[in-house]
């Protein structure tokens, strides 16, 4: 005689089967996949289904009580605990600059001046020729050695030393040179 499924056994089978599914979305497209066990597997699945996303991927959820209904980044170290209680993630990607684009960055230097270091494992005779644009001037050389002006407009330093360091600073105006 065939076994008859009761409502409770059918419901349990349905829930356990559903728990093996997982939804990835980018806000436009939704993809049903097997539930990824690791964060690495989850990001690989996201990249496979959303190939237009490049750069660093972030997986977010709003399904946990602790998220208070706000999409929250899921860190790799919490993935294995969180993935058992959530059913979907929102996939976000950090934008990657296009080829040919550039960033205007003005880093702040510590000490306020660019410094050129010349290190040698032993004391050596050195000759350094340095040419700066008119907006820059040489402010210090260590150890102190005499500087000679050269015909090309630069300066030349020679001596026996190790190490040498030089600092240059921006002039107030080209006229101050």
Query: What are 112-144's pLDDT values in tens digits?
Result: 666 666 666 677 777 777 777 777 777 777 666
Burial class (CB in 10 A: 0-12, 13-18, 19+), 60: middle
CA 98 vs CA 44, 102, 103, 104: distances in Å: 23, 9, 11, 15
**What angle is formed at CA 53 by the lines to CA 51 and CA 59, rounded to 5 degrees?**
110
More confident residue, 12 or 140: 140
Question: Please, what CATH class does the domain formed by 11-93 belong to?
Answer: alpha beta
Burial class (CB in 10 A: 0-12, 13-18, 19+), 111: exposed
3-state secondary structure of 93: strand
On the question of pLDDT at 168 being above 80, the answer is no
Q: Which span out of 30-44, 102-116, 133-147 was modeled with the highest average pLDDT? A: 30-44
d(CA 11, CA 170): 76
**Residue ranges of the domains in the chain?**
11-93, 115-176
């Amino acid at each position: 005689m065939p076994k008859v499924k009761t409502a409770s056994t059918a419901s349990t089978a349905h829930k356990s089967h559903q728990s093996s599914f997982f939804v990835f979305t980018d806000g436009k497209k939704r993809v049903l996949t097997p539930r990824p066990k690791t964060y690495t597997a989850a990001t690989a699945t996201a990249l496979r289904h959303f190939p237009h996303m490049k750069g660093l991927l972030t997986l977010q959820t709003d399904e946990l009580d602790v998220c208070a209904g706000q999409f929250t980044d899921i860190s790799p170290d919490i993935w294995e605990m969180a993935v058992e209680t959530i059913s979907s993630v929102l996939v976000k990607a950090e934008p990657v600059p296009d080829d040919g684009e550039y960033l205007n960055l003005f880093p702040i230097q510590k000490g306020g001046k660019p410094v050129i270091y010349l290190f040698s494992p032993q004391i050596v005779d050195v000759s350094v020729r340095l040419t700066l644009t008119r907006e820059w001037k040489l402010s210090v050389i260590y150890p102190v050695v005499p500087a000679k002006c050269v015909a090309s407009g630069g300066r030349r330093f020679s001596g026996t030393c190790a190490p040498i360091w030089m600092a240059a600073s921006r002039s107030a105006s080209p006229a101050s040179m």
